[in-house]
Amino acid sequence: PQGQSHVDPSVPPLKPYFDLNGTQDESSQLKEIIKKMGLQPHVEGGYFVETDRDQLRVPNPFVDEKTASSDPTRSASTSIFYLLTPKSPFGAFHRNKGRTVHTLHKGRGRYVLIHADEVAAPNCPGGYGDENLSESRRWNGKKARIETFIVGQNVLAGERLQWIVDGGKYKCSFLLPDEEGSSNSEGLLISETVVPGFEYTDHDFMKSERMDALVTKEQAEEMNWMLRK
Ligand code: GUN
């Protein structure tokens, strides 16, 4: 029974395909790939390794009251490999201030974006921007737009090979089986390039109170498992 409050009527209910507690093991080949590539567990879930950090420093475009004193510059860009596996099958809802270009290498997954900054002040400088507005002014009773899409090789079925997530958008991803109907995955491997470069101070996780404020009660219930526990 999918009510109209469901995230998107054209999308199946957002449910994980792999056990979130990591009880499903990775294939020995995936384990070898993780080792060979030097991938480490990511705090969001999944595995990552930073593959590039531009030596060039650029002015920090996110300077505000909070960061101005400590952080005048950023790396011009950073890149990582990011991998989801049956053992670590999802990346919890979070946002970065920087814009991120994602490129698929292999596997399939679903992305869910919450456009929390959709109606932020049009002239707000880089950064989250939206927190300075009161809830009522920001949304006028409306809820944030939710977007979801599948990343994968099946371009003809609408799966994406490349996707861009602007700074300030909440993002979550979870592993899908390599083939529809199967329960196996040899992992979702992507590259991400962030501009300007990644810093933890530009990153934060979605909190359940924030989720409740951004989406309907039903949507929050449906997406609750995507929050970092
Ligand atoms: N360190 C922890 N998370 C990340 C990330 O997402 N990107 C980069 N470049 N470094 C990280």
Say if the ipTM goes beyond 0.95.
no
Q: pLDDT value at position 126? A: 32
How many CA atoms within 13 Å lie on the side-chain side of 20?
A: 14
Give domain status of residue 143, yes or no: yes
CATH code for the domain in which residue 112 is found: 2.60.120.10
Counted domains in the chain: 1
Of all protein residues, the one whose alpha carbon is nearest to atom 7 of ligand 1 is: 198
Give domain status of residue 174, yes or no: yes
Per the listing, tokens 């995936």 go with 30
Q: What is the mean pLDDT of each run of 10 residues along the chain (229 residues)?
A: 52 87 94 98 98 97 69 95 98 96 98 75 36 44 81 95 96 94 94 97 94 86 94
Q: pLDDT value at position 143? A: 75
Give domain status of residue 206, yes or no: yes
Biggest distance spanned by C-alpha atoms of the chain = 53
Give domain status of residue 18, yes or no: no
Q: pLDDT value at position 31? A: 97
Distance separating alpha carbons of residues 172 and 93, to the nearest angstrom: 4
- For residue 84, what are the domain limits? 28-54+74-226
Peptide bond into 86 cis (omega under 30): no
**Distance of CA 167 from the midpoint of ligand 1 (Å):** 14
Give domain status of residue 10, yes or no: no
Q: Check pocket membership of 147 for ligand 1, CB cut-off 6 A.
A: no
Q: Check pocket membership of 198 for ligand 1, CB cut-off 6 A.
A: yes
Give domain status of residue 136, yes or no: yes
Task: Using alpha carbons, select from 70, 99, 86, 93 the residue that is nearest to residue 21.
Answer: 86
Give domain status of residue 60, yes or no: no
**Distance of CA 164 from the midpoint of ligand 1 (Å):** 16
